[in-house]
Amino acid sequence: MRTLSEWITTYLLNDMNREEIEKVVLDITEKVISPIDSKVSVSLEDNFRNDLGGDSLDMVQVVMDIEHRLDISVSDAECECLTTDETTVKDIVDLMEKHYKEKHG
């Protein structure tokens, strides 16, 4: 039998489209990257490392927060692929959308 939390997560996440996943990724990336005293504006075209100043620890935090929010799981190897100098926020969205669709249809 499902717990209330599992039911709510499944019900709320089943109908997410790409735009909603993008919003989750952008929001979480902004929260992780932004200094406490200011807010960084993040767009899909931003390079995670060069434009936003994110490092591998920031990426791990972003991925973990997104995994939790979307109820998905990303392998360590896939997470490592996101730590290149070429990684954009769109690349993160693409990977999260793939895992979301695999799990939630």
Whether 91 is a known active-site residue: answer no
Q: Which of 33, 63, 61 shows the shortest CA–CA distance to 49?
A: 33
Residues 3 and 92: their CA atoms lie apart, in Å, by: 30
Angle CA 62–66–72, to nearest 5? 135
Active-site residue, selected from the candidate residues 55, 65, 71, 94: 55
Residues 14 and 105: their CA atoms lie apart, in Å, by: 7
Active site residues: 55
